[in-house]
Homo-oligomer: A and B are copies of this chain.
Amino acid sequence: MLFFQNDYGQGCIPEIMDILVRTRENSYKGYESDEQSNLARQLIQAQMPSRKADIWFIMGGTLANLTMIRSVLRSYEAVIACNTGHINVHEAGSIEATGHKVIPVPHVNGKVTADAVRKVYAESMLQFGHMAFPKMVYISNATEFGTVYTREEFESLRTVCDELGLYLMMDGARLGAALESGVDYTLDDIAKWCDLFYIGGTKNGALLGEAVCIVNEDLKKNFIFVMKQSGALAAKGWVLGQQFIGLFQDGAFYRVAKQEVELAQEIQTIANELKYPLYIKSSTNQIFISVTEEEYLYLKENIAFEIWEKTDCGYVIRFVTSWHTTQKEIDQLTIYLKQAKALAEEKAD
C-alpha cells in the first residue's frame, strides 16, 4: 500500500534519530533550560539575523497554537482567521476553550486577505463594546490547501496589522514547504513580518515538536508560565530541542521540505496531464484532486490517502508527500493514477 495520507506518518529523519540515540544516557536539566535546547535556539536564531526571538519548543501544533494565542490575548480579545484556518475548524474548539473567539473571514485560496481583516475590524468596532475585539490575525503558511502567501500578501497583512494595532501570528506547521515552494522570502523575512510564529517540526521530518518564535518584545515576558499552565512545557525539553538541532544544524529542514514539495508537485503535474481536475492549485506538498467514484474505488485499494470532501459525482482527495516519500513511490502512484483513469474511461464506454 502506497502511503500518501499525510506528512506525519513516519518517524523522523536519521539525523534526528542519531542525536536521540547518541545522547540517550546524558543528564540534562529539565524544562528547556538545558544546553541542547539552547543550541537549537542558536541554530534557529541564526536563520533570522534581523530579529532577536525568544524560542520555545512545544510538542504539537494545536498545543503551540493555543499556548501562543492565549499568551497574547486579553480576555475580551479575539483572533481573526480565515474560515478554513486550522484553528477555526480542525482543532476541536481549542482556542475557544481558552476563552477567545475565532472570528472567521472568507478565505481567498486558503488565505486571509488584508481587505478581509480591515472589513471585519471595522464591523467589530461599529457598536463599540458589543462585539469581540479583534487583536490578532492568524495565518497558516503553507495554508491548509497547500497554497503559500506571497511577499506582497505578507506585507499588506503587516501593514493592516500595524494600522489597526493587531498582532500577526503565523502557524508554520508546513513552513518548510512554503519556503521551498519558490517564494522570494526567507525565515528572516517571516521574523520581520510576524509578531510570533512557529516553525513546524512534526510535518517536516521531526519525530515531534514545533519551535515557537516570539519576535515582538511585548509578547516575550512570562511565556514560560503560559506554557506550563497549558501543559506545554515538557519535563524532558531537550528531546524537543534536539529535533531542531537535527533539522537546522545541517540544513535538513530545507532539504526535507524541498524534496516534499518537488515530489508533490510532480503528482500535481501528472494529475493535471491525466485530466484529473485540480480542486485548488497547490504550491507545496499537499495535492487536492477530484476523482470519480470509479477512480476512487480503484485508487483506495492501492494507496492510503485522505478524502477531503464528497462531491456530486465522487470525491476530492488529498495526496501528501513526507520526508519519507521517494521518487519510486511517485512513479508507482503515477501508474495507479493512469490505471484508475483508464478503468474509469473503459467503464464509461
Contact = CB atoms under 8 A, between A and B. Distances in A.
Interface in A188-238: 202-203, 207-208, 222, 224-236
A71 interface: yes
Interface in A142-193: none
Contacts of A76: 71, 92-93, 97, 222, 225-226, 228-229
A26 to B, nearest CB: 7
Contact of A97 (B12, B229, B235, B304): B229
A218 to B, nearest CB: 12
**Could you tell me the dominant secondary structure of chain A's interface residues?**
loop
Contacts of A60: 59, 231, 233-235
A330 B70 CA distance: 44
B9 A25 contact: no
A3 interface: yes
Given A20-B11, A100-B93, A129-B92, A27 B324 contact: yes
A283 to B, nearest CB: 22
A328 interface: no
Nearest to A66: B231
A167 to B, nearest CB: 14
A239 interface: yes
Interface stretch (A130-138, A274-282, A294-302, A341-349): A130-138
Contacts of A313: none
A97 B70 CA distance: 10
A327 interface: no
A28 B324 CA distance: 12
Given A59-B59, A96-B99, 10 more contacts: A5-B27, A11-B236, A17-B21, A20-B207, A27-B304, A31-B129, A76-B97, A76-B228, A76-B229, A97-B229
Interface of A: 3, 5-6, 8-12, 14, 17, 20-21, 23-31, 59-67, 70-71, 74-76, 78, 89-94, 96-102, 104, 127-133, 202-203, 207-208, 222, 224-236, 239, 304, 324
7 contacts: A9-B236, A10-B25, A65-B231, A71-B76, A92-B129, A99-B99, A207-B239
